[in-house]
Structure 1
Amino acid sequence: MKRTALFLIAALAVSPAFAAGPSTDVAEAQSGAFTVDHSHAKIIFSVSHFGFSTYYGLFNDFDAKLNFDAKDPAKSKLDVTVKMDSVNTTNPKLDEHLKSPDFFDAAKFPTATFKATKIEVTGKTTGTITGDLTLHGVTKPVTLDATFNGAGENAFKVYVLGFNATGTIKRSDFGITTYSPALGEDVTLTISAEFNPAK
């Protein structure tokens, strides 16, 4: 606890801008090419487990590229690639089952991709991102509700854009039907990501 407190005090002392927090004014953000900060990003999925509980998992290996237009966010571009064999539920046997032909069939379909086709601004820090999701060899349009968390330098003088997003897909739309409909059809996606300027 003492080490954590000392680290936070030192970080805030080094970076007054960080202490003030990120700016949520989109117009003040930097435009340009960004890549996801893998150490500060999560793609989490959840599904009803036969109606008894909600089961959660995530993907450990993914990449995302953002071309951000601060003056006109609707013109921004986003491309995401997820490696399906990186699925992680903290249960190794379940992970292997999800990678099998019963579910993701990761050997045959090693990646899932999302390519934004339309971005709509709905508020000062909110918007929707519609794109083509290719999963299990099937491509379908998916819309995510997105929130701009802010932009600015972090404690280490690295420029950051931060976003959250949520959405729901129906797994049978992508040909994943094992144990359907007893095992939940609707899969909720919860995404949070920091982006840094591309090098």
Structure 2
Amino acid sequence: MKKLAVLLFATLIGATAQAAEYKFDTKGAHAFVQFRIKHLGYSWLYGRFDKFDGSFVYDESKPEASSVEVTVDTTSLNSNHAERDKHLRGKDFLDVAKYPTATFKSTAFESKGNGKAVLKGDLTLHGVTKPISIDVTEIGGGNDPWGGYRQGFTGTTEFKLKDFGIDYDLGPASQTVEMILDVEGIRQ
């Protein structure tokens, strides 16, 4: 009986230590793609994308093998102001009629220890693809009340709008957008 318990425990440990694929929990509203940009240098404008999907592969014992893919529906931009959203979705900014999605596909995951990492990858926005880096912090992982297993991360990055062909001039303080990404994934 003791050998069976040890074997079962070793099997469970092995199963949790292997790479697993996770799907973003967007239906349960446990994942967010948000942004902020200075408005004329006087205040912050916050917004989010209400529709997006993605997945990631993560192995706690080998985090450098992790990967992420995300697709964002740019038409779902929401800054809590209908007229501003219309402008941001228009040709001056995202031009969602021409570019209805933005994508991110990772190329590297560099663990920094203590749940910190840098996720590198290619962001395609407004028809332009550029490499970006996202500072990532592992929030945690474990069993959920419904018999599944979840893993959560938060990440931040920033980039210049002009790097992605968005040239609308809001002044020198409003050239860089910050992205805040919070993801809870459900193991598949």
Structure 2 contact 39–170 (Cα < 8 Å) conserved: no
Structure 1 contact 147–165 (Cα < 8 Å) conserved: yes
1:45-124 to structure 2, matched below 5 A, reads 45-124=35-114
Helix, strand or coil for the counterpart of 1:106?
Answer: coil
Q: Write the distance in 1 (CA, Å) between the matches of 2:39 and 2:143.
A: 41
How many Å apart are 1:58 and its aligned residue? 0.2
Gaps of 5+ in 2: 1-14
Helix, strand or coil for the counterpart of 1:122?
Answer: strand
Q: Write the distance in 1 (CA, Å) between the matches of 2:160 and 2:153.
A: 24
How many Å apart are 1:30 and its aligned residue? 5.7
Structure 1 contact 62–82 (Cα < 8 Å) conserved: yes
Alignment match, 1:32: 20
Structure 2 contact 18–61 (Cα < 8 Å) conserved: no
User: Quick one: which amino acid aligns to residue 75 of structure 2?
Assistant: D
Alignment match, 2:31: 41
User: Quick one: which amino acid aligns to residue 22 of structure 2?
Assistant: F
Q: Write the distance in 1 (CA, Å) between the matches of 2:170 and 2:106.
A: 29
Helix, strand or coil for the counterpart of 1:166?
Answer: strand
User: Quick one: which amino acid aligns to residue 177 of structure 1?
Assistant: D
Q: Write the distance in 2 (CA, Å) between the matches of 1:137 and 1:102.
A: 14
Q: Does residue 185 in structure 1 map to residue 175 in structure 2?
A: yes
Gaps of 5+ in 1: 1-26
How many Å apart are 1:33 and its aligned residue? 1.2
Closer, same or farther: CA 183–177 of 1 in aligned 2, 3 Å = farther
Q: Write the distance in 1 (CA, Å) between the matches of 2:165 and 2:96.
A: 13
How many Å apart are 1:135 and its aligned residue? 0.3
Structure 1 vs Structure 2 CA RMSD: 1.6
> Which deviations, in whole Å up to 9, do the C-alpha atoms of 1:140-163 show, x marking residues without a partner?
110000011111012333311010
Q: Does residue 152 in structure 1 map to residue 142 in structure 2?
A: yes
How many Å apart are 1:28 and its aligned residue? 5.6
Structure 1 contact 29–152 (Cα < 8 Å) conserved: no
Helix, strand or coil for the counterpart of 1:192?
Answer: strand
TM-score with structure 2 setting the length:
0.87
Q: What number of residue pairs does the alignment pair up?
A: 172
User: Quick one: which amino acid aligns to residue 19 of structure 2?
Assistant: S
Helix, strand or coil for the counterpart of 1:189?
Answer: strand
Alignment match, 2:5: none
Q: Write the distance in 2 (CA, Å) between the matches of 1:29 and 1:170.
A: 38
Alignment match, 2:116: 126
Q: Which moved more, 1:75-84 or 1:28-37?
A: 28-37
Q: Write the distance in 1 (CA, Å) between the matches of 2:51 and 2:18.
A: 27
Structure 2 contact 40–170 (Cα < 8 Å) conserved: no
